[in-house]
Structure 1
Amino acid sequence: MAQTGSAPVLGVIGGSGVYDIDGLENQRWVTVETPFGDPSDALLTGELDGQKLVFLPRHGRGHRIPPSELNFRANIYALKALGVSEILSVSAVGSLKEHLPPGTFVVIDQFIDRTFARNKSFFGTGLVAHVALGHPVCGRLGDLIEEALVELKVPHQRRGTYMVMEGPQFSTKAESELYRSWGCDVIGMTNMPEAKLAREAEMCYATVAMVTDFDCWHPDHDHVTVDAVIRVVVANAGKARSLVKTLAPKLQVRDGLCAQGCHTALDHAIMTAPDKRDPEMLKALDVILARALG
C-alpha cells in the first residue's frame, strides 16, 4: 500500500463507460479482499501518461448492484489498499435547477445525506472516531477538475449541493419540491456514505455529478424518453473519459500531503483510549490506520 505522501494515485469510481480510455497502459484487473466483504467488482489498474490510475465500477460491470446494496466500505477500503490517494467520483444525477439541464456537469462541494440503510463508518464500538465533514470534498481536487472542464469546454457549475436519497425508487413530486426548497442542485443515490468513508480513509475526494434529466418537479419531466436519457448518458460518459485524461497529469503537481488536510483527517479524530481499543478492529483497519497509528 502506497503512503499518501508519495506520488498521487488517482482512483475513479463510476460506470463502465468511463474506463475505456485511449492510452491507458499496463491494464490489469485486480481482485481485492477486504475485512468488509467484496467490493462491487475487481478494480482496473493502469497508467495514463505516467499517472497511476485505479478504476472501480461502482455498480459492478453490467450494473448488477443497486445503490442500497453497494458495499461502500469494501469499495473505499479496496481503493486505499491499492494506494489510491485521490478519488474522482462520477455519477449520474437528476437536476433540481432550471439552469442545470441534461449534459451539465456539477463539481459538488456539499451533500445532504438522506440515506438510512447503509453502513456509514469504518469505526464503531471498540474504536470510536469522529472526522470533520464540514467541507466533505477536497477543494484542491475540485479546482483541478474545474480547470480540466474549462479546457474541455464542458458545460459545468463549479459548486453545488448533492441531495443523496436512499432509492432505488425515484422521488415523489412533493419530495422533489422539498429538496428544491432546501437549495439542492442535483439529486442521486450513490455518493453517500462514499464521501464520508473516503474522509475516514484519509483520501482526497471530489464528485462530478453528470446531469441526465430533470427530476420530477420539472413540468417537462414526463416528456423525457428513455432514448433521450440514454443519449445523454452516452455523451456524458465520453466527457467523463476526456475529463480523466485531462485531469490525470494535473495531479502530479502535488508535493507531499494535501494542504487541505484530507490526508491527515484522522489526526485528533480517534477518541478511544489506546488501552481500550479493540485489537480485532485495529487489525481490520490496518490499511485505513497505517498513517495515523503507524
Structure 2
Amino acid sequence: MLGIIGGSGLYEFEELKVVEEVSVKTPFGGASSPIIVGELEGKRVAFLSRHGKGHLYPPHRVPYRANLWALREVGVDRVLAVSAVGGINKLFRAGDFVIIDNFLDFTKGRESTYYEGVFSVDVEGNDEVARLLREKKVVHIDVTEPYCPQMRTLLMDILEERRLKYHPAGTYACTEGPRFETAAEIGMLEKLGADVVGMTGYPEVVLARELTMCYASLCVVANPAAGISAHRLTSDEVMELMSQRERDVKEVLREVIRRLPAEKTCGCDRVLEGAEV
C-alpha cells in the first residue's frame, strides 16, 4: 500500500474515500496525526499529516520514527512525501517541482535510526526488521541511492505529461529549524552542492529505508532561500505558494496512485541484506 505524507500546506487529501481513521500506538510514541486509510482509483492508500492537523509539530519535534512505524503497521510499503522547500540553485524558481535524488544532513538532535544496538526497543513480529531489533543488532544501511528510482521515474513521467515545470534531480539539504537559515548558511550549502533546503526531509527518508519501504519525495519550491531572495522570508509566503500549487500536487498524487505498479523493480526492499554487523 502507498502511504502519503503531507507536509506544510497539505494537511488533508480529500480525494480519498475514507475507510477508517487509525490512531496507532508505536514503540516509538504516537504519530503526529491519525492515519487516514482510504480508497482512490480502486487502490487502498494511507495519508498522514507530518505536522499534524493544524500544524502542531515544528520540524525538529516531528515524531519521525513513530510516523514511519505507524504507516508500516497499517500496511504501507511505499511512501511518497510532499514537502515545501527553499530554492538554492538559481535555476529552481518558486512553483517548480523537484524530484530530489540525494540529501545533505545538517540536523542536530533528531533520533534518526531504529537500530540502536543494545539500546534497541523490543517489538513484535517475525520479519527481518523485528528480528534485528529484538536481537539488538547494529545495522548500517546503504544510502547511495536514498530515494526509490522506480517511484522517481513515475513522478517524472507524470510531471512531464502534465507539462508542469520540474527538475528531475536535486540535492536536498536538511537543516534543524525551526528558524530559517542565514544567508551565510545558504551560501555554504550552495558551495556543497545543495539545490534546495528544507527542515523535514531527514531523518524521514532513512527511517523509511531502514524499514525496507520505498520512499520518494515530491518537493515544491516555495521561495528562494535566504540571501538569494531579495526580501525577508516568511511562513506566509510558503503557505501561499503551497496553496497555489495544491491542485497540481493532488492531481500528481492521484496519477501516482493510479499508475504505481504492484511489482517493485527498485530493490529498496532488500536494503537490510548484508547491513547487520
**TM-score of the pair, normalised by structure 1:** 0.84
Structure 2, unaligned runs of 5 or more: 118-135
Identity of aligned residues (%): 35
Structure 2 equivalent of residue 11 of structure 1: 3
What letter matches 1:55 in structure 2? F
1:204-253 residue CA offsets vs partner (Å, 9 max, x unmatched): 0001111110011215233x6766543312022222111111111111x2
Q: How many residues of Structure 1 are paired with residues of Structure 2 in the alignment?
A: 258
The secondary structure found in structure 1 opposite 2:140 is coil
Flag the 1:27–1:154 CA change in 2: closer, same or farther, 3 A: farther
Name which of structure 1's ranges 226-235 and 139-148 shifts more when overlaid on structure 2: 226-235
Q: CA deviation at 1:55?
A: 0.5
**1:188-214, CA deviations, whole angstroms, 9 ceiling, x for partnerless residues?**
000100011011000000011111100
Partner of 1:237: 246
Partner of 2:262: 254
User: RMSD across aligned C-alpha pairs, in angstroms?
Assistant: 1.6
Matches within 5 A, 1:65-76: 65-76=57-68
In 1, Cα distance between equivalents of 2:171 and 2:75: 29
Q: Which ranges in structure 1 are unaligned for 5 or more consecutive residues?
A: 1-8, 272-294
Cα distance in 2, alignment partners of residues 169 and 237 from structure 1: 24
The answer on whether the counterparts of 2:101 and 2:170 sit within 8 Å (CA) in structure 1 is yes
Q: Following TM superposition, by how much is the alpha carbon of 1:98 offset from its aligned partner in structure 2, in angstroms?
A: 1.8
Separation in 1 of the partners of 2:168 and 2:11?
A: 21
Paired position in structure 2 for 1:281: none
1:1-294 counterparts in 2 under 5 A? Answer: 9-15=1-7, 17=10, 19-22=12-15, 24-125=16-117, 126-222=136-232, 228-251=237-260, 253-255=261-263, 258-271=264-277
Report the alpha carbon displacement of residue 159 of structure 1 after superposing the two structures with TM. 0.3
Q: Which secondary structure state, in structure 2, belongs to the residue aligned with residue 47 of structure 1? A: strand
2:250 is paired with a residue of what secondary structure? helix
Please state how far the C-alpha of 1:268 moved relative to its aligned partner: 1.7
1:161, 1:191 → 2: CA distance? 11
User: SS at the partner of 2:29?
Assistant: coil
Segments ≥4 residues shifted beyond 2 Å: 15-22, 224-231
Q: 1:13 to 1:123 in 2, by over 3 A?
A: same
Q: Distance in 2 between matches of 1:228 and 1:129?
A: 41
- CA offsets per residue over residues 77-109 of structure 1, 9 Å max, x none? 011111111110111110002211111110000
Per mean C-alpha deviation after superposition, the further-off stretch among 10-19 and 93-102 is 10-19
Q: Structure 2-normalised TM-score?
A: 0.88
CA 1:178–1:168: 2 relative to 1, 3 Å: same
Contact conserved, 2:100 with 2:219, CA < 8 A, in 1? yes
